[in-house]
Structures are given as C-alpha cells and as structure tokens.
Amino acid sequence: MRKLPVLLLTAALLLLGTPAAHPADNGSWSVRPATGPSGERPSLYLFAAPGTTLTDRVTVTNKTAKPLTLRLYAADAYNTPRDGGFAVRDRNEKQRSIGAWARTDRDTVTVGPRASVTVPLTIEVPENAEPGDHPGALIALDERVEATRRGALAVGVRRAVGARIHLRVNGPTVPALSVEDIRIERHRPLVPGTGASRAVISYTLHNRGNVTLAPAVALRAEGLFGRTLLKRGLTKLPAELLPRQQVRLTETWEGAPQLDRAEVELTATAKGTRESAAVAFLAVPWLLAGVLAALAAAGTALWARARRRRTRTA
C-alpha cells in the first residue's frame, strides 16, 4: 500500500491588517490582554526605556466543552513576503526582540470548559535595545495535530492564536520608506492594434526605518512628450509595514502602450517619509520590426544587385 506524503503545518490565526477591536479568536479559544481600568484592550500597546521591565496580564479563554491545554510563547512579528500580511516567527526560530524579551510565568496553561485563565506576562527590555517599534505576539498553541487531506496530500495542522504586542522603545524614531527594484513584464500582440496588451509592474516596498508605517503608493506613467498614460493610487498594499521589513508587490496595467516610450514612476509615502523611483521601457513590436528590417535589407540587397548588373552591361 502506497504511503501518502504528510505535511505538518502550524496555523497561526492572528489578527491581520489593522488591529481590530476584539480579541484574537479562532472559535475554540481566544487570547486577549486582561481587562484593565479602561476596559477591554484589543492589543498590548506598551512604551518603555531600555533596561526597563514591564508587567502585564493576558487572558486565555476556552470556548469549548472540554478542557484545553495550550503552550504559551512569545514571538517576533514580520510581514509575509507574498502579500505583506502580519505573521509571527515559529517558536523554534531565532527571536530577536519581543520573542526573546517576553515570557509568561508558565510554559503551558490548562483552561477548563468555557472558562478563562489570566496569565502574568513579563517583558524585560535590555539596556542595548534599539529605539523604535518592536512588534510581536503572545501565542497560545494547541500542540495536538489535526489530520486533514488536500487531494493526495495528508496534512497535519496545529492551530494557534496570538494576541499582538506593540512595544515602542524610547529614543529617536526614523521613518524611512523606499521603492526598490521596479520591473515591468509586458504582454502584447505580435502586431500592434490586433489585440489587448497589459503590463505587470512588480516592485519591492521596503521599510528601512525603525517604526511601523501605513504605506500609500501612487503610480504614474508618462509617454512621449510628457503624455500621461496612467495615474492612480494602488490598493494592494499591506495595512502596516513593520520596521526593516520588505514585501514584493505587483500591479497590473491593462491597456499598456504597444508602441511608445514610457516611464513608470512609483511614489511611496507614509507619515514622515516620501520617496519615488522610476523605470523606463520601450514599447516596440520587435517581431514586426524585425520582419520589416529583414524586408528592407532584402530590398536593399536586390537593388544593389540590379545596379551592379546595369553597370556591367553599360
């Protein structure tokens, strides 16, 4: 009997995009900052100087009818390269900020049916901590593997939920956003005017600073003699770009020119920063141009040959 390949995945169900005003919740359990004097908090927003120790509390709630045992750990956050979504490092990966500085008073917690347990959280900010934002999360992981199947592939899934931690270390803040490595891939008919054309613009959006940014990107394309071919704001962007993170993004330009010289400019802005980058391309139907050049060369050769013959006859 042939054995099916098995893939083990950990599904970290975190709050994605802009933090919402409710706890991280997957329907079976939730993790949220403990309710304080000002009421419920969607995430932990903390400020500290280097060398400071912070204390807080996090509440884990079991929404099922059976006891639930979960592993607790802190992890650094990052933007996924594909779409810029908010994600956290696996607990076996090297942690450099929140994942290394934060800890609970226990490694695992057992929560009774439809009950809650509040766990103390301690964050020790080292003396040499860099100023700026240090995003992360406190994760509650169910280490049991749930079997499922995707076609011929057997998949084992471990579910996790995380409450975000937003820590800003005191010191100079440096917002810095750049657009890098713009590339254009064009799709066009062999003969201009016989079909639709489009261009796929890919670029890297890079947060080079030490604070989280909410980026906006504007696209502008100009043709010969400064004609505006395209002008619009882009919408496929991460809601927040974390410090020193970069994501690769694409934008499709339907109806891109088939015969023109164009310059594409991308301008990225966020609070306190603005930067532009541009790339030019020549839209030429090279196959048709090659055929015309070959015909011209052949015509020139025939003309030269006929002239030589007339010269010899004379």
Q: What integer pLDDT is reported at residue 304 of this predicted model?
A: 65
Give the domain-ending residue among 151, 169, 187.
169
113 and 24 housed in the same domain: yes
Spell out the residues 6+ positions from residue 97 whose beta carbon is closer than 8 angstroms to its own.
76, 129, 134, 136, 167
Identify whether 50 is part of a domain: yes
**Residue 138 pLDDT:** 96
In a domain, 297, yes or no: no
Let me know whether 133 and 207 are in one domain: no
57 shares its domain with 79: yes
Whether 215 and 140 share a structural domain: no
Compute the distance between CA of residue 200 and CA of residue 252 in angstroms, rounded to an integer.
5
pTM, entire model = 0.80
Position 24 scores a pLDDT of: 81
Q: How far apart are CA 166 and CA 31, in angstroms?
A: 15
Domain total in the chain: 2
φ, ψ of residue 109 in degrees (nearest 5): -135, 135
Q: How far is CA 300 from CA 216, 306, 312, in A?
A: 54, 10, 19
User: pLDDT at position 283, please?
Assistant: 65
Among residues 147, 169, 191, the one where a domain terminates is 169
Half-sphere exposure of 298 (CA within 13 A, CB side): 6
- Same domain as 43, residue 120: yes
Domain extent, residue 184, equals 177-285
pLDDT at 7: 45
Q: Which of 169, 199, 234 is the last residue of a domain?
A: 169
Sequence-separated (6 or more) residues with CB below 8 Å from residue 21: 40, 42
Q: Tell whether 234 and 258 lie within a shared domain.
A: yes
Cα angle for residues 27, 45, 209 (degrees, 5° grid)? 110
Mean pLDDT split into 10-residue runs, the chain, 314 residues: 44 39 78 83 93 96 96 96 89 94 96 97 97 97 82 79 95 97 81 72 96 97 89 94 96 85 94 95 58 58 66 63
